[in-house]
Structures are given as structure tokens and as C-alpha cells.
Structure 1
Amino acid sequence: MTKNEYGIQCMQEGKWEEAVKAFSEAIEENPNDAVSYINFGNVLTAVGEREKAVNFFKKALTIDPKAGAAFYALGNLYYESEQYIEAKDFLEKAIKAGLENSDGYFMLGMTLLQLDQPKLALPYLQRSIELNPDDSDARFQYALCLAGEELYEEAISQLEKVIEKVPNHADAYYNLGVAYAGYKEDANQALAFFTKALDIQKDHVLAANGKKLMEQYLQQ
């Protein structure tokens, strides 16, 4: 087992000090290996040393300018710091560098949503769920994005897939209620969805408001 492999194993087991030691030794043995710097940055991120982590990811990129994992890690750090323009830049570079995983596409889609660019976010969220169909969080965000672009039939289809996978997803039921109330004009089904959302999450204020409106409408 290499030092990097051992360090990753330590991270998975929450042995942060041992992981730091392993990655430090890996860097000492081979200071021109970008992977070791990326791994060290990841462990620093995990223990909250974000500024130091940035330095290690940037060092990795000086060694390997096409290190997609370093671009991705930097994109995540900037996203968490709400520096969305910088996050977008690094996440785009990660994908251009060949990082073909669902998380990269999802994070770029989420970043574009934060920048109020839902139309641009849509294909990245779509690609994310193509790469990982089991990611219900990505599918839910994709559904919201579709609804925002008034692609309601597809949004409903995606929300239905979310609740198939996560039967207690209150927000998915709420958004189905909104779609059935507004787009489908089916007050009874909308009421059923709002009620289901409240059964799951009793303090869901939006679902409670939706339920009240549907009940008032049906009583007319």
C-alpha cells in the first residue's frame, strides 16, 4: 500500500493526524506528484483548514495544470465561501480537464443557480443525474430548474422519480402540489400532495399555505 493509499484509508476511518502524516511523507518522497498535494488539501479541508487547503490545491496545479480533482476541490471551497464566480471558473476548468463525475456537474449546476443562470445550469444538472441516476438531491434540483424554465411535464416526471427513491421527501411533494395546482389545474391532486408533504413535515409552512388555498378553492 502506498503512502497516498494509506492516507486515504486513514481519512475514511477519521484518523486525520495519521492521514496528514502519510500525505506529508508522500510529498517528501515525491515532491512532484500532484496527487499527494491534492490528498493533503482534501484532509485539510476535512478538518476545516480551508485556506491552507487552497494553497495545496494550487500547488498541485503548478505541477499538473490539468489536475481536474484540484480544480474541483477549489470550486467546492469557493462555493462554500459563497464566492460563486470563482467557484464557477474552477468547476468549469475541472470538467474541461476531463473530470467526468456527477458531483462536478452537479456543483457547477448549483453554482450557476446561485448566479441566477438557471438556463445555463439545466444541462449540467441533467448530466449529473445521467452519470448518477440515484442522486435524488441532484434530481430534485434538476426538477426545480425545469419548473423554473416552465418545462412542467418533465419537472413533474423528475419529481415523481424523486419520491419513488425518497418516499419521505416533503419538498418534492410540495412542489408536485404546486405543479398540479398551477399547471395541471387539478386542485384535488394538489391538495393530496400538500397534505402528504405536511404528513412528512408538520411545520412545512409552504405546504400548509398550499393546502389551505386548495381547501378554500374546493369549497367554493
Structure 2
Amino acid sequence: MKVSSLRAVLLLVSLIALSSCGCRAIRRFGESRQSIAARRLSGQGFQAMHDGKWDIAETLFSDALDVSKTDDRAHWGLAEAYWNRGEKELAVNQMEQAVRLSAGDPKFVGRLGEMYLNLGRMSDADQQSQIALRATRNSADAWRLRGDCLRAAGNEAEALAAYHRALALQPDFPQVQLQAAEIYGSQQRFDRLLATLDRLQDNVGVEKTPARADVLQGIAMRQLERPEEARRCLVRATKKDPQDPYSHLELATLEMQQGNLHEANLALSMAMTIDPEAAHANGWMDGFRAEQERIARDTQRLGQPIDQLR
């Protein structure tokens, strides 16, 4: 009788255990189906984002999170959608969740760092850049973020070293090449600036090179006393980005230095139309007037008319 009772108890315990395992298996199966559905919606969202259909992408990412709150890719995608429409704080919140749910995926950490940097949250951005590098020192993107943080903090020498590490890992990296060229320009290392941007142009083509690269090339050519090449670069920049006042101001500076006052006036007038404050910032107008006065003194004895800057 005792043996029979013991067998009954063991059978009951076994049934309870099997029932418990079965419930967990059912739950896991349900969660798995939810996860798969959420991932599918996220994938559709990224495709819509790639196609420039941001509203549709945002809806798909939101739907994915309705299915599964733990889909890190959906949080990332929704962050990008919010960022695209200017809801930057909401974007950061979603990106923080993506980082947490992915257990610190370096790609997500780096993107969060970029967002922090854009918002001026320097300490947070710097922290994310170091976390990303600790996770993967062979990532060009992580070194780029580190360089961006160092440059924003005013440490150009270390920033340039970080950019060099990024380019060693990924030689054709337009964003990094452009940042390195900016630093070379501030250091007046114009030959290195031109060599860096020549490689960029060789990789993406002259027409697809960012307008800022053309401006930097124009400045370097002007400093190296190659005015015709400088003019071609700056004119190309004004055509690529007509609403950038600084390309017009650099062109005005070149024309002024070459004694072409009419052309300088045209370029300056265009810059003033786009952004009146830009022409007065950093002493641009004072520099133009000083250069005009110098040219006037040099040419007055020849009786040539001098156009007045506005």
C-alpha cells in the first residue's frame, strides 16, 4: 500500500513538472512568434526608410513595437524616423532603449553617441564613444565617433589621430576624409588637405563630392597661389549648394584678392542675400573693406574706377 501511494505521488509530481514545462514551452513559442512578426515589420520599416517613405517606416516600426516591445531593431528604426522629422529627444529615448535591449550593440552605441553629440551632450557622447571602442577597436565607425568627440572638445591633434585610425581600417570613408581635411586646413597643411580630398574625389567622383570639400579645396588652392584652380573649386561649390553663404564669401575673397572687384561684389551680394549675418560674422566685411582699400590705393594712380562694396 505504501509503495502504491509513493508511486501515485511520484506520478503526480511528474505530471505537474511536465505541465509546467509545457506552459513554458507554449509561452516561448508565443514569444517566438511575436518576435518573428516584429522582426518582419521592422524589416519592412527599414525598406520603407531606404525608399524615403519615412511616414510609412515610422508606422511599421510602431506596429512592430506593438507586437513586441523588446525588438531592439524596431526601437532603432523608430529612433531614426523621429530623428528625421526633428523629434530629436524622442529619437534619443528610442535609441537608448535599443542600446539597452541589444546589450550594448556597438552599432547602436555609436549611433546613440552621434545623437548625443548633435544635441551638444558632450559628456554623454564621449562616454558612448569610449564604450564603442572598448567593444570593438576594429570599427572605423567607432574611431570616427571618437574623432568627432575629440574635435568637438577642441582637441584637434588627438581627433586627427582617431581619424587616421578610422581611415587605416576603411581608407575610403568620405565623412572621415572631410573631417581630416578640415583639420589639415586649420593647421595650414594644405598639401595634405588636397591629397586627402583628391582620394575622396577619386572614390566618389567630382560631382558627388560634398560641396564643403570643394570649398576646402578652393581655400587650399588660394593659399597655395593657384587662383584659377581655386576659382573652379569655389564655383563648383556654389553650384552644388547655392544656399551656403560661405562658399560665396570664399569666392568673393578670392576675387577681391585677384583685383576682380565686380565679381567680388556679385559673390558678396549673393552671400548677403542668403544670410546677411554670415557676411558680418568673423570679420568678413572688415576684411573685404580692408582689401578694397588696399586695391584702391594701388590702382588709384592708374585712374581705374573702383566699385564699392555694399
TM (norm. structure 2) is 0.55
Q: Please, what is the CA RMSD of the aligned residues?
A: 3.5
Q: Displacement, 1:102?
A: 4.6
Q: What's the CA shift string for 1:164-217, capped at 9, x where partnerless?
A: 53267531332322552xxxxxx3xx223333234435763334434544679x
**1:54-89: CA deviation from partner (whole Å, max 9, x where unpaired):** 222222333333222332222222222233333232
Larger CA Rg, structure 1 vs 2: 2
Q: Which residue of 1 aligns with 2:161?
A: 123
Which runs of no fewer than 5 residues in structure 1 stay unpaired? 181-186
- Give the CA deviation at 1:11: 2.0
Alignment correspondent of 2:95 = 57
Contact in 2 for aligned 1:34/1:67 (Cα 8 Å): no
Q: Does residue 229 of structure 2 align to residue 193 of structure 1?
A: yes
CA drift at 1:121:
1.1
The answer to whether the 8 A contact 1:103-1:128 is kept is yes
Give the TM-score, by structure 1 length.
0.72
SS of the aligned residue for 1:2 comes to: helix
Could you tell me whether the CA contact under 8 Å between 1:198 and 1:208 is conserved in 2? no
Q: In the alignment, which residue of structure 2 is the partner of 1:183?
A: none
Which residue in the other structure is 1:166 paired with?
206
Moved more, 198-207 or 153-162: 198-207
Partner of 1:43: 81
1:32 and 2:32 matched: no
> Structure 2: which 5+ residue stretches go unaligned?
1-38, 239-246, 260-293, 299-310
Equivalents in 2 of 1:8, 1:163: separation in Å?
Answer: 29
Q: How much does 1:142 deviate?
A: 1.0
Distance in 2 of aligned mates of 1:58 and 1:137: 24
% of aligned pairs identical? 19
> How many residue pairs align between the two structures?
210
Deviations 1:25-50 (A, max 9, x none): 43344443433322222222223322
